[in-house]
Amino acid sequence: MDININGRIVTVPEKFRDVTLLEFIRSSVGLKGTKYGCGAGLCGACTVHIDGAAVRSCQTVAADAVGRRVTTIEGLSKVAPEAGLHPVQTAWIEEAVPQCGYCQPGQIMTAVALLAHDPNPSDDTIRNEMSGNLCRCGTYPRIHRAIVRAARERGNHDVRR
Amino acid sequence: MMSADSHNRISRRRFLIRSGWLAVGATVVASCSSFRSLLPALPTFDDPELEDSLTWVQVLPTGGIRFFCPRMEMGQGASLGLSQVVAEELNVDQSEIECVLPNTQQTPPFKMTVSSESIADFFDPVSYGAARLREALRTVAAKKAGIRPGQIRDGRGGFVLPDGSALRYGALVPSEPLVISDPAVSEAEKNPPRYALQRQGAYKAIGHKWKHTELEKIVTGQTVFSQDVALPAMLHGQVIRPPSFGAILLDADGRVAQAMSGVVAVVVDKKSNFVGVVADNPFVLPGAIEAISAKWHVADDIDQNSLDEILDVEDLRARDDFEHKLASSGDIDIGRQRARHRVSARYDTPFLAHAAMEPRAAVASVGGNRVEIWCGSQDPFFVQRRVAEIVGRAEDEVVVYSHRMGGAFGGRIRCQASEEAAILSAAVDRPVRVSWDREAEFQNNYFQPVYSHFIDAGVTPTGAISHWDHDFVSSPILTGSVPKSISWAVDMFTADEGTARGGMPPYRVADRRVRYSDVRTEVPVGAWRGLGAAPNSFAIESVMDELAASAGIDPLEFRLQNLSPTQERLAGVLRRVAKLSGWGRVMPQGAGRGLACAVYKGETAVAIVVEIEVDRATGEVRATKVWCAQDCGLVVNPNQVEAQIAGNIVWGCGMALKEQITIAAGSVEERNFDGYEILRHHETPEINVALVAPPDTPPVGAGEAAIAPVAAAIANAVFDATGHRARRLPICGARVIP
Ligand code: FES
Ligand code: FES
């Protein structure tokens, strides 16, 4: 009944098996960076990674994550190629993406997963892959730019190596 | 049963006439302020005074500056822009300023954070407070050095003495608090030089693209929103809210819930229409709520049709029954005779929700001699007053700790979760957290009211506007939240300025009349981004497009020809956006362009060009490109202002194409983002922004100006592409296809 959350082994108590992974992460583990927006798979605010894939944690129960590797926004720097912020987080700051910021952990988790399977996404790919993450402040144009920047910077990084 | 149309049987105006209150045709648009003293806890309305600012800026012994920002933060970046003003006055860098969202004990009450006033109205007092502090410190430095203050020059983070040695602010912090409002201060100190007003062109902080210090916390998930507040001994509460507007709690049986493991208390208070449950963990709450059977007297006869009947401009026109006059000059009947081309059209916009991404939440701790609230609100002092009233405490026993809000847009002037948490905490004598789920947000907050417009206007043979006859009906917005017990009195004597915002066209028309009614219905309404600005502009700017088309004049030319002479800055942004967008370019089949403009709150001039594509099969409209030129005077942080404009454009696209709240059986039909759709990433247009401002113009509102013309520009583009006039929002694809 163990989940690896950001490198830490967390046991899911029997009575919490059926609570959503989102609730479990926030209320039981106490990691508040993953957000509740709709509880219905409609907004993407709760996006985390399970074994590297972007997943809506409000649509997953804790038991389903047992034996798997969960990464939340707090753990992102640990999977970054170098210490410190993940390059996508850096790009987000460079482009000054957040307004209120509430949707941004989910946006970033979706973007990181997108860039992991498509390091050089087209504009259309970005538009489609990001369409499940709502932002009421309307930061979409800057989100788009930050993803392009992160992809470009990773490209440069790879070339230098 | 409450009858929805009982409101309409006798209008306020008819009542006033009958009871002799009204000699002339309509009430004048009067400020609501004269009635405030009669009302229970209301939002904080008072504008800032210069002297208030003396409590906002502190120097710490380390030399750092602490800025208690008198504006709440919801992503608009007011705390950043105002920090730049502080930095300008005190000659410090961003890293030397610690910007704090103050709790209600740290500063005197300040006005609610609304209406895009944070820079416009606080630039001056913040600059004053910081400048006063600087000059007070200069006096301290002079005493210390035994010279006159005038001999001491400014340095980075402090001063420079005549011998060239530096004296940092930190070295000047006295052991006793320095009271800069001391009546003994000299006149010179009371009127300090203001770098924020004087350094134009040579600013060191203002006008620079500072980035918010919160960004790193946001992108790493460290920011504590009110949803994230957790106290060690905190319990968890949930509330059963009325199933329909005005529903009355008859009875609730909580015995089964009370016996459930983890449940601490079931709180039933019929007098307050309140049923809630408190548990020691959040996971049992849904089951406990389910186990409580609550019986309500419901008012289920309110539906969209009955509301649309009340808010029907044509019906009011037929009865010639409008309560307030915004403008009346010349004679519209004479003007009408000069029209070669005439347009008479009705425009409608629906109820709209804020749909901020963070559902509201609060933690309350109602203790023996102190009540503490952690929440995010646009008006923490209103929260303080409401909670004091609800738990029967003195105002100064209540402290509200403010958190960054996950979006607000007018929807968080009240924080109902804090009131609910306070009731529950008082009942169990422990801190209690209440958080709303998405459904609660859609069902239980207040909305942008429906607007129904009718405009009759025309064009003379020479291309001038012959007459302008505009009537509209909506609901009171600024006083939307006053309790039922007194709303009747409030409505009798006030014309809601929020409802009317943006209702005056910026064009030159001698013969014109603009009237409106603000009719209260059972649907709770209140501030929504821009208040009346967006719905009113939708009607006005659509009609301008209709007039231009009927007269065969280019819409840009038509506006420029007819702008009133005082609207030079609006002419400026119109010309600029035309240039930016290459106005006049011929569009391919299935695409179109539309133009619209507005002056927000009589100050911020904004013009928009939108390019759209129409799906030939479905009629679905997508905005592909938007150009915007805005003149909001001095720009304190271009990065933030551009972000606000983009946000407004995204909102405006959602409003034009997707958003709508509908009412059935006394409650809101939409429950989540599938029913109430907001704009998504893939639907977002490419956005180009130009900021223009004549030199030496003070900053004016930027947070909700650009939303005003967006819907009209899109509707005008739909006409350009298809010949179809979209006169009802949201624009419906099926109707676009002929
Ligand atoms: S909270 Fe999970 S998708 Fe919205
Ligand atoms: S930044 Fe506010 S919801 Fe996205």
Q: pLDDT tens digits for B138-166? A: 988 999 999 999 999 999 999 999 999 99
Contact indicator for B398, B388 with CB cutoff of 8 Å? yes
A43 lines ligand 1 (CB under 6 A): yes
Give the chain B residue nearest A128 (alpha carbons): B682
A73 touches chain B (CB under 8 A): yes
* Domain definitions of chain B by residue range: 2-219, 226-299+360-435, 311-352+447-736
| Closest ligand by atom to B678 CA | 2
Say if the Cβ atoms of A136 and B673 lie within 8 Å. no
The architecture CATH gives domain B311-352+447-736: 2-Layer Sandwich (3.30)
Contact indicator for A123, A114 with CB cutoff of 8 Å? no
Task: Give the model's confidence band at B62: pLDDT under 50 very low, under 70 low, under 90 confident, else very high.
Answer: confident
Predicted ipTM of the assembly:
0.97
Residue of the nearest CA to atom 3 in ligand 1?
A: A41
| B679-700 average pLDDT score | 96
Task: Give the model's confidence band at B29: pLDDT under 50 very low, under 70 low, under 90 confident, else very high.
Answer: very low
Answer yes or no: is pLDDT of B598 > 90: yes
The per-residue pLDDT for B16 is: 42
Answer yes or no: is pLDDT of B470 > 70: yes
Is the peptide bond preceding residue B730 cis, with omega within 30 degrees of 0? yes
| Distances in whole angstroms, Cα of residue A104 to Cα of each of A78, A112, B193, B326, B377 | 18, 12, 41, 43, 20
Task: Give the model's confidence band at B40: pLDDT under 50 very low, under 70 low, under 90 confident, else very high.
Answer: low
- Please report the sign of the dihedral spanned by the C-alpha atoms of residue A118, residue A119, residue A120, residue A125: positive
| B478-486 average pLDDT score | 80
Which chain B residues are closer than 8 Å to A33 by Cβ?
220-222
The per-residue pLDDT for B185 is: 66
CA–CA–CA angle B522, B526, B527 (5° rounding): 165
Lowest mean pLDDT among B81-85, B415-419, B492-496, B666-670: B492-496
Lowest mean pLDDT among A31-40, B6-15, B302-311: B6-15
Which chain B residues are closer than 8 Å to A130 by Cβ?
681-682
Number of the ligand 1 atom closest to the C-alpha atom of A134:
4
Distance CA B483, CA B490 (A): 10
Answer yes or no: is pLDDT of B48 > 70: yes
Q: In chain A, positions 83-112, which contact chain B (CB-CB < 8 Å)?
A: 85, 89, 92-93, 96-105, 108
A62 touches chain B (CB under 8 A): no
From the CB of residue B564, how many other CB atoms can be counted at a distance below 10 Å? Answer: 13
The per-residue pLDDT for B36 is: 44
The per-residue pLDDT for B622 is: 97
Contact indicator for B625, B698 with CB cutoff of 8 Å? no
Say if the Cβ atoms of A144 and B74 lie within 8 Å. no
Say if the Cβ atoms of B647 and A99 lie within 8 Å. yes
From the CB of residue B320, how many other CB atoms can be counted at a distance below 10 Å? Answer: 9
Mutation pick for ligand 2 pocket among B218, B357, B438 (CB with most ligand atoms within 8 Å) = B357
Distance CA B495, CA B517 (A): 8
Answer yes or no: is pLDDT of B1 > 60: no
Distance CA B724, CA B736 (A): 6
The per-residue pLDDT for B261 is: 96
Mean of pLDDT over chain B = 91
The per-residue pLDDT for B18 is: 45
DSSP of B506-546, one letter per residue?
Answer: SB--SSEEEEEEE---SS-B---TTTTHHHHHHHHHHHHHH
| Closest ligand by atom to B76 CA | 2
Which chain B residues are closer than 8 Å to A38 by Cβ?
438, 672-673
Residue B222: which of A33, A42, A130 has the nearest Cβ?
A: A33
Q: Do domains B2-219 and B311-352+447-736 have the same CATH topology?
A: yes
Going by C-alpha positions, the residue among B250, B360, B352 that lies closest to residue B298 is B250
Domains observed in chain A: 2-75 (3.10.20.30), 76-160 (1.10.150.120)
Lowest mean pLDDT among B48-52, B257-261, B473-477, B535-539: B48-52
Task: Give the model's confidence band at B61: pLDDT under 50 very low, under 70 low, under 90 confident, else very high.
Answer: confident
Which chain B residues are closer than 8 Å to A139 by Cβ?
643, 646-647
Tally C-beta pairs within 8 A across A and B: 172
The per-residue pLDDT for B494 is: 82
pTM: 0.94
Given a cut of 50, the residues of chain A with pLDDT beneath it are: 160-161
Say if the Cβ atoms of B672 and A42 lie within 8 Å. yes
The per-residue pLDDT for B45 is: 78
Task: Give the model's confidence band at B738: pLDDT under 50 very low, under 70 low, under 90 confident, else very high.
Answer: low
Pair of tokens at residue A109: 């988790």
Say if the Cβ atoms of A38 and B672 lie within 8 Å. yes
Distance of CA B236 to the CA centre of its chain: 30
Distance CA B707, CA B608 (A): 10
Say if the Cβ atoms of B283 and A77 lie within 8 Å. no
The per-residue pLDDT for B13 is: 47
Question: Separation of B446 CA from ligand 1 center, angstroms?
Answer: 23
A138 touches chain B (CB under 8 A): yes
Say if the Cβ atoms of B221 and A39 lie within 8 Å. no
| B404-460 per-position pLDDT tens digit | 999 999 999 989 999 999 999 999 999 999 999 999 999 999 999 999 999 999 999
In CATH terms, the fold of domain B226-299+360-435 is Aldehyde Oxidoreductase; domain 4 (3.30.365)
| B20-24 average pLDDT score | 34
| B183-209 per-position pLDDT tens digit | 566 777 788 999 998 888 899 999 999
Distance CA B455, CA B459 (A): 13
The per-residue pLDDT for B489 is: 77
Answer yes or no: is pLDDT of B25 > 50: no
Which tops the pLDDT comparison, B227 or B63?
Answer: B227
User: CATH number for the B2-219 domain, one of 3.40.50.720, 3.30.420.40, 3.30.365.10, 3.40.50.2300?
Assistant: 3.30.365.10
Answer yes or no: is pLDDT of B35 > 50: no
Output phi, psi for B241, to 5 deg.
-100, 160
